[in-house]
A = this chain, B = another copy of it.
Amino acid sequence: MKSKEPPLLMTPGPTYVPERILKALSRPLIHHREKEFLEMVQNCTERLKQVFKTKNDLFILTSSGTGAMEAAISNTISPGDKVLSVVNGVFSERLSNIATSFGATVRTLSVPHGQAVEPAKFKEVFQSSNYKLVTIVHNETYSAVKNPVAEIGKIVNETDSLLLTDAISSLGGDDIRTDEWGVDFCLAGSQKCLMLPPGLAFITVSEKAWGAIDKKQGGRFYFNLKKYKEKAPDNPWTTAINLVFGLDESLNMIFEEGLENRIKRHTQVAEHCRKEIKKLGFQLFATPESVASQTLTSVLASGRDVEKMRSIVKQKYNIQMAGGQKDLKGKIFRIGHMGAIGKKEVDLTIDAISKSLKEL
């Protein structure tokens, strides 16, 4: 069935999955209610808590990252509740859309694409009403911009409001400090910096969040976090067993490298990518550069046909990057450098871009 080598995925998820993890995926199944599997889940959960830097509860969901978004919101929000959503891209907008779907009255704090929210501006809007929940994306995959969650957390934590942070495209590659930042729900997905295929999502739940969840009636079942808590480490439904085999191996690799080493490596790879892409005459989309993501880089087209360039890079060099989504299509392109991706792969990509530009 394989007509050619799979492309090198320099996309912001799914990203390159190392051979060791692919191999773990094809391990013959054991039953998900058996001791051996439950011990693996428990062990993965404890190590994931270290990656999230949290002592809060943590659950493994069989869904995409959007499922974890829904879990946080549908367990907290009743119709009429007020939600403040910081929106600076498609994924932060998704959080506001989910809140609306579950009946919340959503105030959107729109931030221009390519920029991060300013804490002072946030504080002003936040103080104008009593919000039950604040939603913010740590690393907005749409624009490759990092929001100052630590500073937002300080503001929210002084109140009864809950803070939901989507760290889907940064957890495992950036320094996520769930507890220090006061994040009540921190979310991640398997197919980003954790080097896994898609299909698992992760959610942390603070004591403060449980207070709201315990009062919530109906309106959710598959993502009902109370059921996950009652059953833990077992899952109330059937877990995607083989993806957990992969997760176990991913966590082995993360702790063999060392979490802090790994975060530092991502910082260095990101700096290297930005430096090299600028050498080709491109400008970064994220402004100022201090808000640029350390797991992916968004690059302005600057008058070049970047869709055609991406196509040549894919066809000729078998390297896949991402374009801009929605309003940004053709205006930017994005290079993912997550998980197992290092300087070597970034250099291959830069080289392919450089050669492809000459064909435009």
A101 and B29 contacting across the interface, CB-CB below 8 Å: no
Residues in chain B near residue A23, CB distance under 8 A: 26
B17 and A197 contacting across the interface, CB-CB below 8 Å: no
Q: Is A279 an interface position by the 8 A CB rule?
A: no
B6 and A221 contacting across the interface, CB-CB below 8 Å: no
Mask: chain A, 172-206; 1 = CB below 8 Å from B; 0 = not: 00000000000000000101000001110000000
Contacts known (A26-B26, A223-B222); A242 close to B66, Cβ less than 8 A: no
Subset of 19 A-B contacts with CB under 8 Å: A2-B27, A6-B27, A13-B238, A14-B29, A14-B32, A17-B29, A22-B28, A25-B25, A63-B67, A63-B237, A64-B239, A66-B238, A101-B224, A191-B241, A197-B243, A198-B238, A198-B239, A199-B243, A219-B219
Shortest Cβ distance from A90 into chain B, in angstroms?
12
Pick from B30, B103, B222, B248: contact of A66, CB below 8 A: B222
Cα separation A86 to B146 with both chains bound (whole Å): 51
Cα separation A141 to B246 with both chains bound (whole Å): 28
Q: Nearest CB to that of A323 among chain B residues?
A: B33
Q: Nearest CB to that of A34 among chain B residues?
A: B320
| Known interface pairs A23-B26, A63-B67, A222-B223; 7 further A-B residue pairs with C-beta atoms within 8 A, sorted by A's residue number | A14-B32, A16-B29, A66-B237, A69-B222, A103-B218, A197-B243, A243-B243
Residues in chain B near residue A248, CB distance under 8 A: 1
Q: Is A234 an interface position by the 8 A CB rule?
A: no
Pick from B9, B22, B64, B220: contact of A101, CB below 8 A: B220
Cα separation A97 to B218 with both chains bound (whole Å): 10
Among the interface residues A29, A67, A243, which one has the most CB atoms of the partner chain B within 10 A? A29
Q: Is A11 an interface position by the 8 A CB rule?
A: yes
A221 and B28 contacting across the interface, CB-CB below 8 Å: no
B197 and A14 contacting across the interface, CB-CB below 8 Å: no
Among the interface residues A222, A223, A241, which one has the most CB atoms of the partner chain B within 10 A? A222
A221 and B97 contacting across the interface, CB-CB below 8 Å: yes
Contacts known (A6-B29, A14-B31, A14-B32); A240 close to B198, Cβ less than 8 A: yes
Mask: chain A, 294-329; 1 = CB below 8 Å from B; 0 = not: 000000000000000000000000001000000000
Residues in chain B near residue A236, CB distance under 8 A: 66
Residues in chain B near residue A31, CB distance under 8 A: 7, 9, 11, 14, 320
How many residues on the A side are at the interface (Cβ–Cβ under 8 A)? 58
A198 and B241 contacting across the interface, CB-CB below 8 Å: yes
Q: Is A62 an interface position by the 8 A CB rule?
A: yes
Q: Which residues of A contact B (CB under 8 A)?
A: 1-2, 6-7, 9, 11, 13-14, 16-17, 22-23, 25-32, 34, 62-67, 69-70, 74, 97-98, 100-103, 189, 191, 197-199, 218-224, 236-243, 248, 320
Residues in chain B near residue A34, CB distance under 8 A: 320
A199 and B101 contacting across the interface, CB-CB below 8 Å: no
Shortest Cβ distance from A159 into chain B, in angstroms?
26
Shortest Cβ distance from A246 into chain B, in angstroms?
8
Cα separation A27 to B19 with both chains bound (whole Å): 10
A64 and B66 contacting across the interface, CB-CB below 8 Å: no
B238 and A14 contacting across the interface, CB-CB below 8 Å: yes
B6 and A199 contacting across the interface, CB-CB below 8 Å: no
Residues in chain B near residue A62, CB distance under 8 A: 62-64, 67, 198-199
Residues in chain B near residue A70, CB distance under 8 A: 221-222
Residues in chain B near residue A65, CB distance under 8 A: 237-238
Cα separation A199 to B13 with both chains bound (whole Å): 18
